Structure 1
Amino acid sequence: MTEVPARERLMDAAVEAFAERGFHATTTRDISTRAGMSPAALYVHHASKEQLLYEISSAGHLNTRHMLADAYASTADPVARLATMQFEFTKWHAVHSKRARVVQYEISALTPEHRREVAGHRRDIERIYQDAIREGADKGVFEIEDVPGTALALISMAIDLVRWYQPDGPRTPDSVAQLYADLALRAVGARTA
């Protein structure tokens, strides 16, 4: 069995600590202890606790942005496209619920520069959703008037599941993702053949 690199152990420990206690209540000692390292270890691999949060947040947003872009490109059918996007986006938030909670809800702890960068990733995600919804409306298979508002609602629905989702609970990531994909199609008034 290969040992997990120190940098990755610190990131995983930070996710656990930030998800449990929040960024501000978590100390660098908390993170290092969870990673099984000395209190100074964090500074060997990361410039600060905020830099660690930024790396977690940026990676999470980039991962979901790439995943959505792949889902968008996977089909020309607007109904299948939106369903796939909502399924994958929701499933990622369920499978990675602790990491997603940190990625989505600790953004205010980032420096203004880091917050602007992450906000840019969020705008990219919104644009992918808006493009998918707008294309469906243009093709006459979605009945929707407020494309930006609907895109935000669908994104928010998936993101917010991290507030209640329990990996050991009665719902699986796939079952929640399928439910949310179905709800997304209802929200846009999708017409299927």
Structure 2
Amino acid sequence: MSNMTEAELAEHLGTSKAAARIRTAAGDVFAARGYGVATTREIAASLDLSPGAVYPHYKTKESLLFAIALEGHWRVLQTATDADDPALPPSERLSAVTQAFVLWHAQRTAISSVIQHELRSLEPEHLAVIADIRRSTTALFDSILQAGVDADVFHVDDVSTATLAITSLAIDVSRWFPTKRVSDAEELSRRYSDIALRIAGATP
């Protein structure tokens, strides 16, 4: 699943505009109410639809959550991958990927919160699919950090721990951003890239 194309993703999600509208509405409702409390009736009502209008696209609330999680995680991975240029020095790679990763979460706080914090509600087979995509995202950060260690420009005792620290901080942006003092997503992403470089022990 982690290496699927945009077209293949669309096959899993459904290509209709109605399905896309339902996913968007569900993401907002899940973020506001919590997956466990939210109902398909509420989701349908937010679109001025009957509950039965959701069923042809998503048979269960869980299948709808899976579609949202699949799309979100796939787009996070693609965003990070697209930001990476292996030909660049490791410090520039880490900075670019971290900025893209943070920016995605800062600009989509509602859906980011859902796809990160409601995974426990997925069926095991669906959770396994999402876990595979998450591993690919982790592997990208690992590879950049390891390249920096190999080039003696990053200095960390454990690459995996550094990746966890960087990605956890970035993901947590969706919990609190924006605030009165911090409201510029672009500036936030640049600050977080500096933090990532410090975590990596980047050579000045």
In the superposition, the TM-score normalised over structure 2's length comes to 0.88
Alignment check: 8 A CA contact 2:182 2:188 kept: no
CA 1:120/1:8 → structure 2, altered by over 3 Å: closer, same or farther? same
Aligned to 1:49: 61
* Aligned residue-pair number: 189
Report the counterpart of residue 58 of structure 1 in structure 2.
70
Please report how far the alpha carbon of residue 5 of structure 1 lies from its aligned counterpart in structure 2 after TM superposition.
Answer: 2.2
Q: CA RMSD in A?
A: 1.6
What displacement does 1:92 show?
0.1
Q: Is the 8 A contact 2:154 2:202 kept in 1?
A: yes
2 CA distance for matches of 1:168 and 1:5? 35
Task: Output aligned runs, 1:65-144, within 5 Å.
Answer: 65-73=77-85, 75-144=87-156
TM-score of the two chains, using structure 1 as the length reference: 0.93
Q: How does 1:138-177 map to 2 (within 5 A)?
A: 138-166=150-178, 170-177=182-189
- Whole-angstrom distance in 1 between the partners of 2:148 and 2:84: 12
The Cα of 1:74 is off from its aligned counterpart by 5.9
Q: Give, in whole Å, the separation in 2 of the partners of 1:160 and 1:75.
A: 29
Q: What's the CA shift for 1:170?
A: 3.8
Q: CA deviation at 1:7?
A: 1.1
Deviation track 1:13-50 (CA, whole Å, cap 9, x = no partner) reads: 10110001111100010100112211111102112111
User: Cα gap change, 1:170/1:180 in structure 2, threshold over 3 Å: closer, same or farther?
Assistant: closer
User: Residue 29 in 1 paired to residue 52 in 2?
Assistant: no
- The 8 Å contact of residues 95 and 167 in structure 1, kept in 2 or not, is answered as no
SS at match of 2:56: helix
Which runs of 5 or more structure 1 residues have no equivalent in the other structure?
none
* Runs of 4+ with >4 A deviation: none
Aligned to 1:184: 196
Task: Provide the C-alpha distance between the structure 2 equivalents of 1:173 and 1:144, rounded to a whole number of angstroms.
Answer: 28
Identity fraction in percent = 34
Could you say which residue in structure 1 is the equivalent of 2:20?
Answer: 8
